[in-house]
Protein backbone atom coordinates (compact mmCIF):
# COMPACT_ATOMS: atom_id res chain seq x y z
CA UNK A 1 0.00 0.00 0.00
CA UNK A 2 1.37 3.41 -0.98
CA UNK A 3 2.05 5.73 1.96
CA UNK A 4 2.34 9.44 1.37
CA UNK A 5 5.01 11.66 2.84
CA UNK A 6 4.10 14.16 5.49
CA UNK A 7 4.04 17.89 4.74
CA UNK A 8 7.50 18.33 6.29
CA UNK A 9 8.92 15.71 3.94
CA UNK A 10 7.47 17.55 0.94
CA UNK A 11 9.25 20.70 2.16
CA UNK A 12 12.42 18.66 2.60
CA UNK A 13 12.31 17.50 -1.01
CA UNK A 14 11.71 21.03 -2.29
CA UNK A 15 14.54 22.48 -0.18
CA UNK A 16 17.07 19.80 -1.07
CA UNK A 17 16.26 20.03 -4.77
CA UNK A 18 16.57 23.83 -4.84
CA UNK A 19 19.38 24.51 -2.34
CA UNK A 20 21.85 21.67 -2.82
CA UNK A 21 21.20 20.83 -6.43
CA UNK A 22 19.28 18.01 -8.03
CA UNK A 23 21.99 15.33 -8.15
CA UNK A 24 23.08 15.90 -4.56
CA UNK A 25 19.52 15.90 -3.23
CA UNK A 26 18.57 12.75 -5.14
CA UNK A 27 21.67 11.02 -3.80
CA UNK A 28 20.68 12.07 -0.27
CA UNK A 29 17.15 10.77 -0.74
CA UNK A 30 18.51 7.43 -1.99
CA UNK A 31 20.87 7.22 0.98
CA UNK A 32 17.99 7.93 3.36
CA UNK A 33 16.16 4.91 1.93
CA UNK A 34 19.23 2.66 2.15
CA UNK A 35 19.82 3.73 5.77
CA UNK A 36 16.60 1.90 6.74
CA UNK A 37 17.89 -1.32 5.16
CA UNK A 38 17.77 -3.34 8.37
CA UNK A 39 13.97 -3.14 8.30
CA UNK A 40 12.85 -3.76 4.73
CA UNK A 41 9.26 -2.62 5.26
CA UNK A 42 10.43 0.81 6.47
CA UNK A 43 12.86 1.07 3.57
CA UNK A 44 10.11 0.16 1.10
CA UNK A 45 7.63 2.61 2.63
CA UNK A 46 10.17 5.43 2.48
CA UNK A 47 11.05 4.64 -1.14
CA UNK A 48 7.39 4.45 -2.26
CA UNK A 49 6.56 7.68 -0.41
CA UNK A 50 9.38 9.55 -2.17
CA UNK A 51 8.31 8.25 -5.59
CA UNK A 52 4.69 9.15 -4.85
CA UNK A 53 5.74 12.66 -3.80
CA UNK A 54 7.73 13.21 -7.00
CA UNK A 55 4.69 12.09 -9.00
CA UNK A 56 2.36 14.49 -7.20
CA UNK A 57 4.84 17.32 -7.73
CA UNK A 58 5.13 16.41 -11.45
CA UNK A 59 8.93 16.17 -10.99
CA UNK A 60 9.41 13.69 -13.83
CA UNK A 61 13.13 14.23 -14.37
CA UNK A 62 13.93 14.06 -10.66
CA UNK A 63 11.74 10.96 -10.28
CA UNK A 64 13.46 9.21 -13.18
CA UNK A 65 17.00 9.94 -11.92
CA UNK A 66 16.02 8.99 -8.37
CA UNK A 67 14.76 5.60 -9.60
CA UNK A 68 17.94 5.07 -11.62
CA UNK A 69 20.04 5.94 -8.57
CA UNK A 70 18.06 3.58 -6.32
CA UNK A 71 18.28 0.76 -8.87
CA UNK A 72 22.07 1.16 -9.08
CA UNK A 73 22.40 1.15 -5.28
CA UNK A 74 20.18 -1.93 -4.88
CA UNK A 75 22.21 -3.82 -7.51
CA UNK A 76 25.49 -2.70 -5.95
CA UNK A 77 24.62 -4.09 -2.50
CA UNK A 78 22.92 -7.16 -3.99
CA UNK A 79 19.53 -6.49 -2.42
CA UNK A 80 17.30 -8.39 -4.85
CA UNK A 81 14.06 -7.57 -3.07
CA UNK A 82 14.77 -3.82 -3.17
CA UNK A 83 15.87 -4.11 -6.81
CA UNK A 84 12.54 -5.74 -7.68
CA UNK A 85 10.59 -3.02 -5.83
CA UNK A 86 12.49 -0.24 -7.63
CA UNK A 87 11.90 -1.93 -11.00
CA UNK A 88 8.19 -2.04 -10.18
CA UNK A 89 8.31 1.70 -9.39
CA UNK A 90 10.03 2.28 -12.73
CA UNK A 91 7.24 0.34 -14.43
CA UNK A 92 4.65 2.63 -12.86
CA UNK A 93 6.75 5.66 -13.82
CA UNK A 94 6.88 4.56 -17.48
CA UNK A 95 3.15 3.89 -17.41
CA UNK A 96 2.53 7.41 -16.08
CA UNK A 97 4.58 8.92 -18.91
CA UNK A 98 2.70 6.91 -21.54
CA UNK A 99 5.43 4.37 -22.32
CA UNK A 100 3.53 1.09 -21.99
CA UNK A 101 6.24 -1.07 -23.58
CA UNK A 102 8.90 0.09 -21.13
CA UNK A 103 6.37 -0.30 -18.32
CA UNK A 104 5.71 -3.94 -19.25
CA UNK A 105 9.45 -4.60 -19.59
CA UNK A 106 10.17 -3.19 -16.10
CA UNK A 107 7.34 -5.20 -14.54
CA UNK A 108 8.61 -8.39 -16.20
CA UNK A 109 12.12 -7.80 -14.88
CA UNK A 110 10.67 -7.23 -11.41
CA UNK A 111 8.60 -10.42 -11.65
CA UNK A 112 11.64 -12.47 -12.74
CA UNK A 113 13.58 -11.37 -9.64
CA UNK A 114 10.65 -11.89 -7.26
CA UNK A 115 10.07 -15.41 -8.57
CA UNK A 116 13.70 -16.30 -7.85
CA UNK A 117 13.52 -15.03 -4.27
CA UNK A 118 9.97 -16.38 -3.75
CA UNK A 119 8.27 -13.12 -2.74
CA UNK A 120 4.47 -13.67 -3.04
CA UNK A 121 3.44 -10.20 -1.82
CA UNK A 122 5.69 -8.46 -4.35
CA UNK A 123 4.56 -10.81 -7.13
CA UNK A 124 0.96 -10.00 -6.29
CA UNK A 125 1.68 -6.27 -6.67
CA UNK A 126 3.71 -6.72 -9.87
CA UNK A 127 1.07 -8.85 -11.59
CA UNK A 128 -1.61 -6.39 -10.46
CA UNK A 129 0.35 -3.57 -12.12
CA UNK A 130 0.70 -5.67 -15.29
CA UNK A 131 -3.07 -6.14 -15.25
CA UNK A 132 -3.60 -2.40 -14.79
CA UNK A 133 -1.28 -1.67 -17.74
CA UNK A 134 -3.20 -3.94 -20.08
CA UNK A 135 -6.50 -2.57 -18.75
CA UNK A 136 -5.40 0.96 -19.72
CA UNK A 137 -4.44 -0.47 -23.12
CA UNK A 138 -8.01 -1.90 -23.41
CA UNK A 139 -6.63 -5.44 -23.64
CA UNK A 140 -9.17 -6.84 -21.20
CA UNK A 141 -8.30 -10.51 -21.80
CA UNK A 142 -4.67 -10.05 -20.74
CA UNK A 143 -5.71 -7.76 -17.89
CA UNK A 144 -7.94 -10.52 -16.48
CA UNK A 145 -5.18 -13.09 -16.91
CA UNK A 146 -2.69 -11.01 -14.91
CA UNK A 147 -5.28 -10.16 -12.22
CA UNK A 148 -6.00 -13.88 -11.78
CA UNK A 149 -2.28 -14.62 -11.42
CA UNK A 150 -2.02 -11.81 -8.87
CA UNK A 151 -4.90 -13.36 -6.90
CA UNK A 152 -3.10 -16.74 -6.84
CA UNK A 153 -0.02 -15.07 -5.32
CA UNK A 154 -2.11 -13.02 -2.88
CA UNK A 155 -3.52 -16.26 -1.47
CA UNK A 156 0.04 -17.48 -0.82
CA UNK A 157 0.95 -14.47 1.35
CA UNK A 158 1.73 -15.41 4.95
CA UNK A 159 3.31 -12.12 6.10
CA UNK A 160 0.69 -10.34 8.29
CA UNK A 161 2.17 -6.91 7.40
CA UNK A 162 1.44 -7.40 3.67
CA UNK A 163 -2.29 -6.62 4.05
CA UNK A 164 -3.38 -9.70 2.12
CA UNK A 165 -7.11 -9.01 2.47
CA UNK A 166 -6.84 -5.48 1.04
CA UNK A 167 -4.88 -6.79 -1.96
CA UNK A 168 -7.52 -9.43 -2.67
CA UNK A 169 -10.38 -6.92 -2.32
CA UNK A 170 -8.74 -4.48 -4.75
CA UNK A 171 -8.08 -7.30 -7.24
CA UNK A 172 -11.68 -8.53 -7.07
CA UNK A 173 -12.86 -4.95 -7.55
CA UNK A 174 -10.52 -4.53 -10.57
CA UNK A 175 -11.83 -7.74 -12.12
CA UNK A 176 -15.40 -6.58 -11.59
CA UNK A 177 -14.50 -3.37 -13.42
CA UNK A 178 -13.01 -5.31 -16.35
CA UNK A 179 -16.09 -7.51 -16.72
CA UNK A 180 -18.40 -4.48 -16.55
CA UNK A 181 -16.28 -2.79 -19.24
CA UNK A 182 -17.14 -5.74 -21.50
CA UNK A 183 -20.85 -5.54 -20.48
CA UNK A 184 -20.61 -8.82 -18.57
CA UNK A 185 -22.54 -7.54 -15.56
CA UNK A 186 -23.12 -11.00 -14.05
CA UNK A 187 -19.41 -11.60 -13.48
CA UNK A 188 -18.98 -7.91 -12.69
CA UNK A 189 -21.46 -8.11 -9.81
CA UNK A 190 -19.93 -11.40 -8.63
CA UNK A 191 -16.45 -9.93 -8.23
CA UNK A 192 -17.75 -6.66 -6.77
CA UNK A 193 -19.59 -8.76 -4.16
CA UNK A 194 -16.38 -10.63 -3.30
CA UNK A 195 -14.57 -7.31 -2.82
CA UNK A 196 -17.44 -5.98 -0.70
CA UNK A 197 -17.36 -9.03 1.56
CA UNK A 198 -13.70 -8.36 2.37
CA UNK A 199 -14.24 -4.63 2.90
CA UNK A 200 -17.11 -5.41 5.27
CA UNK A 201 -14.89 -7.84 7.14
CA UNK A 202 -12.01 -5.35 7.39
CA UNK A 203 -14.40 -2.43 8.04
CA UNK A 204 -13.00 -0.38 5.13
CA UNK A 205 -16.09 1.79 4.87
CA UNK A 206 -14.83 4.24 2.23
CA UNK A 207 -13.85 1.44 -0.17
CA UNK A 208 -17.20 -0.19 0.55
CA UNK A 209 -18.94 3.07 -0.40
CA UNK A 210 -17.27 3.12 -3.81
CA UNK A 211 -18.19 -0.55 -4.26
CA UNK A 212 -21.83 0.41 -3.65
CA UNK A 213 -21.40 3.03 -6.38
CA UNK A 214 -20.23 0.26 -8.72
CA UNK A 215 -23.32 -1.79 -7.92
CA UNK A 216 -25.55 1.24 -8.44
CA UNK A 217 -23.94 1.89 -11.83
CA UNK A 218 -24.62 -1.70 -12.92
CA UNK A 219 -28.28 -1.45 -11.91
CA UNK A 220 -28.51 1.93 -13.65
CA UNK A 221 -27.10 0.43 -16.87
CA UNK A 222 -29.76 -2.30 -16.65
CA UNK A 223 -32.55 0.26 -16.05
CA UNK A 224 -33.16 -1.06 -12.52
CA UNK A 225 -33.33 2.46 -11.17
CA UNK A 226 -34.87 1.69 -7.76
CA UNK A 227 -31.96 -0.63 -6.94
CA UNK A 228 -29.50 1.91 -8.36
CA UNK A 229 -30.90 4.68 -6.13
CA UNK A 230 -30.78 2.39 -3.10
CA UNK A 231 -27.06 1.65 -3.57
CA UNK A 232 -26.17 5.28 -4.41
CA UNK A 233 -27.75 6.31 -1.09
CA UNK A 234 -25.91 3.56 0.79
CA UNK A 235 -22.66 4.85 -0.70
CA UNK A 236 -23.51 8.42 0.30
CA UNK A 237 -24.22 7.44 3.91
CA UNK A 238 -20.85 5.71 4.23
CA UNK A 239 -18.99 8.63 2.62
CA UNK A 240 -20.69 11.11 4.96
CA UNK A 241 -19.77 9.02 7.98
CA UNK A 242 -16.22 7.91 7.07
CA UNK A 243 -15.03 9.88 4.03
CA UNK A 244 -13.19 13.17 3.64
CA UNK A 245 -14.67 16.34 2.11
CA UNK A 246 -13.94 15.15 -1.45
CA UNK A 247 -15.71 11.84 -0.78
CA UNK A 248 -18.77 13.60 0.64
CA UNK A 249 -18.95 16.00 -2.29
CA UNK A 250 -18.59 13.11 -4.70
CA UNK A 251 -21.44 11.19 -3.03
CA UNK A 252 -23.90 14.07 -3.45
CA UNK A 253 -22.72 14.88 -6.99
CA UNK A 254 -23.21 11.29 -8.19
CA UNK A 255 -26.75 11.24 -6.84
CA UNK A 256 -27.43 14.63 -8.47
CA UNK A 257 -26.37 13.16 -11.82
CA UNK A 258 -28.62 10.15 -11.23
CA UNK A 259 -31.63 12.39 -10.45
CA UNK A 260 -31.02 14.48 -13.58
CA UNK A 261 -31.20 11.27 -15.65
CA UNK A 262 -34.45 10.42 -13.86
CA UNK A 263 -35.89 13.86 -14.62
CA UNK A 264 -36.04 14.81 -10.92
CA UNK A 265 -34.58 18.26 -11.47
CA UNK A 266 -35.41 19.85 -8.09
CA UNK A 267 -33.91 16.96 -6.19
CA UNK A 268 -30.86 17.05 -8.43
CA UNK A 269 -30.46 20.77 -7.71
CA UNK A 270 -30.57 20.25 -3.93
CA UNK A 271 -27.98 17.47 -4.06
CA UNK A 272 -25.69 19.43 -6.39
CA UNK A 273 -25.73 22.52 -4.14
CA UNK A 274 -25.01 20.30 -1.14
CA UNK A 275 -22.10 18.76 -3.05
CA UNK A 276 -20.73 22.25 -3.66
CA UNK A 277 -20.68 23.07 0.07
CA UNK A 278 -17.94 20.48 0.63
CA UNK A 279 -15.60 22.01 -1.98
CA UNK A 280 -13.16 24.89 -1.71
CA UNK A 281 -14.55 27.31 -4.31
CA UNK A 282 -11.40 29.46 -4.17
CA UNK A 283 -9.32 26.73 -5.84
CA UNK A 284 -10.41 25.64 -9.29
CA UNK A 285 -10.02 21.92 -9.86
CA UNK A 286 -11.68 19.11 -11.78
CA UNK A 287 -14.18 18.28 -9.03
CA UNK A 288 -15.35 21.89 -8.80
CA UNK A 289 -15.50 22.09 -12.59
CA UNK A 290 -17.83 19.05 -12.73
CA UNK A 291 -20.08 20.54 -10.03
CA UNK A 292 -20.43 23.82 -11.96
CA UNK A 293 -21.08 21.91 -15.18
CA UNK A 294 -23.84 19.94 -13.45
CA UNK A 295 -25.46 23.11 -12.10
CA UNK A 296 -25.29 24.65 -15.56
CA UNK A 297 -27.13 21.61 -16.94
CA UNK A 298 -29.77 21.71 -14.18
CA UNK A 299 -30.54 25.41 -14.65
CA UNK A 300 -30.70 24.90 -18.41
CA UNK A 301 -33.42 22.29 -17.89
CA UNK A 302 -35.23 24.60 -15.46
CA UNK A 303 -34.97 27.37 -18.10
CA UNK A 304 -33.37 29.59 -15.50
CA UNK A 305 -31.06 31.25 -18.01
CA UNK A 306 -29.58 33.73 -15.55
CA UNK A 307 -28.21 31.00 -13.29
CA UNK A 308 -27.38 28.88 -16.31
CA UNK A 309 -25.12 31.66 -17.60
CA UNK A 310 -23.65 32.22 -14.14
CA UNK A 311 -22.60 28.60 -13.71
CA UNK A 312 -21.46 28.36 -17.30
CA UNK A 313 -18.98 31.18 -16.62
CA UNK A 314 -17.83 29.52 -13.40
CA UNK A 315 -17.52 26.20 -15.23
CA UNK A 316 -15.43 27.86 -17.96
CA UNK A 317 -13.13 29.49 -15.41
CA UNK A 318 -12.63 26.20 -13.56
CA UNK A 319 -12.09 24.34 -16.83
CA UNK A 320 -9.55 26.88 -18.12
CA UNK A 321 -7.68 26.78 -14.81
CA UNK A 322 -7.61 22.99 -14.69
CA UNK A 323 -6.62 22.77 -18.36
CA UNK A 324 -3.80 25.29 -17.94
CA UNK A 325 -2.38 23.29 -15.04
CA UNK A 326 -2.71 20.09 -17.04
CA UNK A 327 -1.02 21.73 -20.02
CA UNK A 328 1.95 22.65 -17.82
CA UNK A 329 1.99 19.12 -16.48
CA UNK A 330 1.62 17.64 -19.97
CA UNK A 331 4.37 19.89 -21.30
CA UNK A 332 6.71 18.73 -18.54
CA UNK A 333 5.71 15.17 -19.27
CA UNK A 334 6.34 15.62 -23.00
CA UNK A 335 9.73 17.19 -22.30
CA UNK A 336 10.56 14.21 -20.14
CA UNK A 337 9.36 11.79 -22.80
CA UNK A 338 11.41 13.57 -25.47
CA UNK A 339 14.55 13.54 -23.34
CA UNK A 340 13.96 9.96 -22.36
CA UNK A 341 13.25 8.82 -25.94
CA UNK A 342 16.51 10.35 -27.20
CA UNK A 343 18.47 8.23 -24.76
CA UNK A 344 16.38 5.07 -24.82
CA UNK A 345 14.80 4.89 -28.28
CA UNK A 346 17.00 1.98 -29.27
CA UNK A 347 16.10 0.18 -26.06
CA UNK A 348 12.39 0.71 -26.73
CA UNK A 349 12.69 -0.75 -30.23
CA UNK A 350 14.73 -3.60 -28.82
CA UNK A 351 12.05 -4.20 -26.17
CA UNK A 352 9.32 -4.38 -28.82
CA UNK A 353 11.41 -6.83 -30.82
CA UNK A 354 12.10 -8.88 -27.71
CA UNK A 355 8.40 -9.02 -26.90
CA UNK A 356 7.65 -10.09 -30.49
CA UNK A 357 10.48 -12.63 -30.34
CA UNK A 358 9.19 -14.01 -27.04
CA UNK A 359 5.68 -14.29 -28.47
CA UNK A 360 7.06 -15.98 -31.59
CA UNK A 361 9.16 -18.33 -29.44
CA UNK A 362 6.16 -19.21 -27.33
CA UNK A 363 4.10 -19.81 -30.50
CA UNK A 364 6.91 -21.96 -31.96
CA UNK A 365 7.19 -23.94 -28.73
CA UNK A 366 3.44 -24.50 -28.75
CA UNK A 367 3.61 -25.77 -32.32
CA UNK A 368 6.54 -28.03 -31.40
CA UNK A 369 4.60 -29.31 -28.41
CA UNK A 370 1.55 -30.04 -30.57
CA UNK A 371 3.77 -31.85 -33.12
CA UNK A 372 5.47 -33.92 -30.38
CA UNK A 373 2.08 -34.80 -28.91
CA UNK A 374 0.88 -35.86 -32.38
CA UNK A 375 4.01 -38.03 -32.89
CA UNK A 376 3.58 -39.53 -29.43
CA UNK A 377 -0.09 -40.35 -30.07
CA UNK A 378 0.81 -41.82 -33.49
CA UNK A 379 3.60 -43.91 -31.91
CA UNK A 380 1.19 -45.19 -29.26
CA UNK A 381 -1.31 -46.15 -31.97
CA UNK A 382 1.38 -47.94 -34.05
CA UNK A 383 2.72 -49.73 -30.97
CA UNK A 384 -0.83 -50.71 -30.12
CA UNK A 385 -1.34 -52.15 -33.60
CA UNK A 386 2.01 -54.01 -33.44
CA UNK A 387 1.18 -55.38 -30.01
CA UNK A 388 -2.29 -56.41 -31.21
CA UNK A 389 -0.74 -58.15 -34.24
CA UNK A 390 1.84 -59.83 -32.00
CA UNK A 391 -0.91 -61.15 -29.72
CA UNK A 392 -2.90 -62.38 -32.75
CA UNK A 393 0.19 -64.13 -34.23
CA UNK A 394 0.99 -65.71 -30.89
CA UNK A 395 -2.59 -66.91 -30.58
CA UNK A 396 -2.52 -68.36 -34.11
CA UNK A 397 0.80 -70.09 -33.34
CA UNK A 398 -0.71 -71.67 -30.25
CA UNK A 399 -3.75 -72.82 -32.28
CA UNK A 400 -1.46 -74.32 -34.97
CA UNK A 401 0.66 -76.10 -32.34
CA UNK A 402 -2.48 -77.50 -30.76
CA UNK A 403 -3.76 -78.72 -34.19
CA UNK A 404 -0.36 -80.30 -34.97
CA UNK A 405 -0.42 -82.03 -31.61
CA UNK A 406 -3.94 -83.31 -32.30
CA UNK A 407 -2.90 -84.62 -35.74
CA UNK A 408 0.24 -86.25 -34.31
CA UNK A 409 -1.76 -87.86 -31.54
CA UNK A 410 -4.31 -89.13 -34.09
CA UNK A 411 -1.55 -90.62 -36.23
CA UNK A 412 0.06 -92.30 -33.24
CA UNK A 413 -3.30 -93.60 -32.12
CA UNK A 414 -4.02 -95.05 -35.59
CA UNK A 415 -0.57 -96.61 -35.67
CA UNK A 416 -1.23 -98.31 -32.35
CA UNK A 417 -4.58 -99.65 -33.62
CA UNK A 418 -2.91 -100.97 -36.76
CA UNK A 419 -0.16 -102.53 -34.74
CA UNK A 420 -2.67 -104.22 -32.51
CA UNK A 421 -4.60 -105.71 -35.48
CA UNK A 422 -1.74 -106.73 -37.75
CA UNK A 423 0.53 -109.70 -36.83
CA UNK A 424 3.88 -108.89 -35.43
CA UNK A 425 7.07 -108.82 -37.48
CA UNK A 426 8.30 -112.05 -35.87
CA UNK A 427 5.14 -113.75 -37.02
CA UNK A 428 5.75 -112.73 -40.60
CA UNK A 429 9.35 -113.90 -40.45
CA UNK A 430 8.26 -117.26 -39.01
CA UNK A 431 5.66 -117.76 -41.75
CA UNK A 432 8.10 -116.81 -44.49
CA UNK A 433 10.61 -119.27 -43.07
CA UNK A 434 7.99 -122.03 -42.93
CA UNK A 435 7.02 -121.46 -46.57
CA UNK A 436 10.64 -121.69 -47.65
CA UNK A 437 11.01 -125.00 -45.82
CA UNK A 438 8.03 -126.46 -47.72
CA UNK A 439 9.64 -125.72 -51.00
Domain ranges of the chain: 1-87, 119-202, 352-411
Q: Identify the pLDDT of residue 323.
A: 60
List, for residues 402-425, the tens digit of each pLDDT value.
777 777 777 777 667 766 666 666
Across the range 20-33, mean pLDDT stands at: 69
262 secondary structure, DSSP code = T
Q: Identify the pLDDT of residue 22.
A: 55
List, for residues 197-244, the tens digit of each pLDDT value.
898 888 888 888 888 888 888 888 888 999 999 999 999 999 999 888
End-to-end CA distance of the chain: 136
Specify the fold of 119-202. Answer: 1.25.40
Across the range 371-384, mean pLDDT stands at: 82
Could you tell me the pLDDT band of residue 259, with boundaries at 50, 70 and 90? very high
Could you tell me the pLDDT band of residue 51, with boundaries at 50, 70 and 90? confident
When the pLDDT of each residue in the chain is averaged and rounded to a whole number, the result is: 79
User: Has residue 274 got a pLDDT over 70?
Assistant: yes
Least confident residue range of 91-105, 173-187, 357-371: 357-371
Burial class from Cβ neighbours inside 10 Å (0-12, 13-18, 19+) for residue 423 reads exposed
- Range ranked top by mean pLDDT from 276-280, 352-356, 368-372: 276-280
Check: pTM over 0.85? Answer yes or no. no
User: Has residue 254 got a pLDDT over 70?
Assistant: yes
Burial class from Cβ neighbours inside 10 Å (0-12, 13-18, 19+) for residue 392 reads exposed
What is the sign, positive or negative, of the torsion defined by CA atoms of 49, 50, 56, 60?
negative
Q: How far apart are CA 348 and CA 342, in angstroms?
A: 10
Amino acid sequence: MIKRLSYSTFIFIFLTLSVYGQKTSIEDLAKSVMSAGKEFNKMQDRHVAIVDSFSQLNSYNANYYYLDTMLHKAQKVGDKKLEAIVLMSKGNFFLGTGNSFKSIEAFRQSIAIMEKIDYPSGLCNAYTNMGNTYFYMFDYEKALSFYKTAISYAKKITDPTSNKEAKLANLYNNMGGVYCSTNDFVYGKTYFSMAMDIWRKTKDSVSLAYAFNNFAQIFHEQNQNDSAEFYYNLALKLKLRHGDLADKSDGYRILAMFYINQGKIEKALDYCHTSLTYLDTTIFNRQLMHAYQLLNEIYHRKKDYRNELRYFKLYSLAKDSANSREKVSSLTKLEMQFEFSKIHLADSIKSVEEIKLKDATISSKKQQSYFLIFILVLAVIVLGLIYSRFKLTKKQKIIIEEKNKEITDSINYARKIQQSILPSEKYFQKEIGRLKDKK
